Amino acid sequence: MAARHPEHDLLHQEVRSWYRTSAPQLGYYLVQRRFGFYRHHANHPESGRIIVEALTPGEVPELLADASSYFDNRAVDVWLDDKDLDAAVGPALVAEGCSIDKAITYLAHVGPRPERVQLPGVTVEAVTPDTLLDYVLVKLKGFANSEDAPAVEDVDKELAVRRSELASLGRFLIARFGDEPAAILGYYDGSDRLVFNLATRMPFRMRGIARHLLCGVIADSCDQGCRSAIINTDPNDTPIQWYRRLGFTDEVYWRRSYLFEPARNPLLLRR
């Protein structure tokens, strides 16, 4: 059995609460409605999300009709963060035209503080407003598994989101190999630190740079007296095995999302 964090239950409640509370400093606002919490970003109306609290399979059409009305027929990401609820309601969402997305698990670090090891030729720096573009370009290229220049609109959108985070709880690191920006890590600061971005450009992979960044944040979290370091990842993707070997073994939160696109569901719009 995987090792658990000594404050597992409290961590579960804490992480769960992050998605049920407005965060104006980050641009996120929530309202509670019949079936759960409806969330949007002030500067990005296309970012609609519903975190479902209570729902039966028979109520799915009512949820989707309300989502369509509230979000003005824009696409909505529907989250189920309870595995039993997902098993019961997920098939009904799919039957009503929603697209199933991957699950995401949140793993807390359990175990000893990792040692800081310097990599030859690699320097790590905190991102500032002046170097944020470097961070964004590495992130987009790393996530795309491509060295092609990202689309301008994707860069602009990413910059806007990261600027608001950098001015608040967001902390970003960039690793350079020589003069080249090679890898990035982003996390939300606090007594519980959530790592939400970790990416390495393709030419710089298999050099231990991402491990260097992640172990540095874990070590710093221990030094600063943080309660936990948490990372989120796809439970079916290869990196989870690497995270587990580094000590991220305790699942403190889980969710699966379903994409509802009213414009592609004309029958739902006419209900």
pLDDT band per the 50, 70, 90 thresholds, residue 267 = low
Residue 270: pLDDT band (50, 70, 90) is: very low
pLDDT in tens, 102-139: 899 999 999 888 887 789 999 999 999 999 999 999 99
Per-residue pLDDT at 44: 78
Name the pLDDT band for 264 (thresholds 50, 70, 90).
Answer: confident
Is residue 43 scored above 90 in pLDDT?
Answer: no
CB 102 within 8 A of CB 234: yes
Question: Phi and psi at residue 219, in whole multiples of 5°?
Answer: -60, -45
Q: What's the pLDDT at 26?
A: 85
User: What CATH number corresponds to the domain at position 78?
Assistant: 3.40.630
CATH number, domain of 162, equals 3.40.630.30
Q: What DSSP designation does 252 have?
A: E
> Averaged over 185-191, what is the pLDDT?
96
Do 238 and 147 share a structural domain? yes
Q: Is the pLDDT of residue 73 over 80?
A: yes
What pLDDT was estimated at residue 263?
80
Residue 92 has pLDDT above 90, yes or no: yes
3-state class of 219 per DSSP?
helix
**Are both 145 and 212 inside the same structural domain?**
yes
Q: Over 80: is that where the pLDDT of 255 sits?
A: yes
Regarding whether 182 and 68 lie in a shared domain, the answer is no
pTM, two decimals, is 0.92
- Nearest-angstrom CA–CA distance, 182 and 175: 6
Mean pLDDT of 232-258: 94
Lowest mean pLDDT, pick from 63-67, 110-114, 132-136, 162-166: 110-114
How far apart (Å, rounded) are the C-alpha atoms in residues 203 and 228?
32
Residue 257 pLDDT level (bands cut at 50, 70, 90):
very high
Considering the domain boundaries, does residue 168 fall inside one?
Answer: yes
The helix (run of H) or strand (run of E) holding residue 192 is strand 192-200
205: containing domain = 122-246
Mean predicted confidence (pLDDT) in 1-30? 92
* 40-67: average pLDDT: 92
* Residues constituting the chain: 271
Residue 203 in any domain: the answer is: yes
Same structural domain, 158 and 82: no
Do both 80 and 177 map to the same domain? no
81 and 150 housed in the same domain = no
**Do 141 and 231 fall within a single domain?**
yes
Would 117 be classed as within a structural domain?
Answer: no
Pair (242, 127) in one structural domain: yes
201-238 pLDDT, tens digit each: 999 999 999 999 999 999 999 999 999 999 999 999 88
Residue 222's pLDDT is what?
92
Quick check: helix, strand or coil at residue 50? strand
Same domain, 259 and 241: no
- CA–chain centroid gap for 3, Å, is 23
Number of domains in the chain: 2
Residue 162 within any structural domain of the chain? yes
When the pLDDT of each residue in the chain is averaged and rounded to a whole number, the result is: 93
